[in-house]
Amino acid sequence: MAEDTKNFAAWMRASDIQSSVSRCADLFNSGVFNSNSSAGILFESAVTLLLIHLNDLLQKAKTDGKRISFVDDIEITETISDVTDLVRACRYAACHVPSGEHKIESGKFTFCVASGYGPTGFVINGKEMGSDYADDIAVYYGKHRLYLKRHLLRSFELVAQIYRTEGHW
């Protein structure tokens, strides 16, 4: 009986991984993340759904000892040490409106988008925020900047490769 439960749990986990990989790939291939779509009505919903599924994959990889840990273009803080932490914090902000992850000092900065090069697109209390790349889209949740290509797509490709290679799905 215990073996059946263990096998079922493993099957469910593998199914969740396969589903999340498929959903993320579908979102990236849908065209919703084109720079022309970043002001569209579905853009925020697509980013939120991507964060939910990608965070699940990254947390599973972390549990499996395969943490995705690059730090390029990430501001390291007490709670953010790499891309896995950044995606987790942004997913939390996207899914929990009253979350503190939206705050910058005494204000809120929620789902602010900078498409293309514009490093000073937003200035709050003297702090410049924007996108440092012409070929990417930056999304802000509070002080956390998340790039679609450099963070989300790259971490997805890395985590999907882990599970494809190991045959977990």
Asked whether the CA dihedral 83, 152, 144, 107 is positive or negative, the reply is negative
57, 61, 131, 136 from 40: Cα distances, Å:
26, 32, 18, 16
pLDDT digits (tens, 9 = 90+) for 2-54: 666 678 888 889 999 999 999 999 999 999 998 777 777 899 999 999 999 99
Domain span at 144: 2-165
| Separation between Cα atoms, residue 106 and residue 167, nearest integer Å | 47
* pLDDT (mean) for 128-133: 91
What is the per-residue pLDDT across 43-90, written as a single tens digit (0 to 9) for each?
999 999 999 999 999 999 999 999 999 999 999 999 999 999 999 999
Q: How many domains are there within the chain?
A: 1
